[in-house]
Chain A
Amino acid sequence: MMKFKIFSKTLIATLIVASPLSFATDVTAGIAFTTVPVVSISQSRPIAFTNDFELALGSTCTMAIDGTAIPSEAEGQMSILGGADPGANAGYQVMTNDCDIVSAGTTGIYTVVGGAGVPVQITVNSAADANISYTPAGLIVDYDGLDSAGGDSWDLVTVDVQQTVQIANTFDRDNSVGRAVVGETRIILGGEIEALQALTAETTYPLTFDIDVIY
Chain B
Amino acid sequence: MQPKKTKLALTIGMLLMGASSASNAATGNFDVSITTIDDITFTEISPISLGTAVFLTAGGTCTVIGNDPAAADVLADANIAGTTNGTLSGDCVGAGAAGVYEVVSAGPNDAITVLMGDMDEAGGFSFNPNSNCIPLYDTSSSDDTCESLTVDFAHTSAVTGDGTDFGATADSLRFTIGGTMTIGASDLTPATPYAGSFAINVIYQ
Contact = CB atoms under 8 A, between A and B. Distances in A.
Nearest to B51: A33
Interface in A110-125: 115-118
Given A32-B194, A33-B193, A34-B51, A25 B93 contact: no
Given A26-B201, A27-B43, A27-B199, A35 B56 contact: yes
Nearest to A166: B93
Interface string B180-195: 0100000011111111
B75 to A, nearest CB: 17
- B-side binding surface: helix, strand, loop or mixed? strand
A23 B181 contact: no
A24 interface: yes
Given A23-B37, A23-B40, A24-B203, A29 B177 contact: yes
Interface residues of B, number: 48
B151 interface: no
A67 B88 CA distance: 34
A208 interface: no
A28 B44 CA distance: 8
A31 B96 CA distance: 11
A22 interface: yes
Interface string A51-93: 0000000000000000000000000000000000000000000
Interface string B30-55: 00000011011111100111111111
Contact of B190 (A30, A32, A36): A36
Contacts of A20: 36
B200 interface: yes
Interface of B: 36-37, 39-44, 47-57, 62, 92-94, 96, 99, 101, 119, 127, 129, 177, 181, 188-204
16 contacts: A23-B39, A23-B40, A24-B40, A24-B201, A24-B203, A25-B203, A26-B200, A29-B47, A29-B199, A29-B200, A30-B44, A33-B54, A33-B92, A34-B53, A34-B193, A34-B194
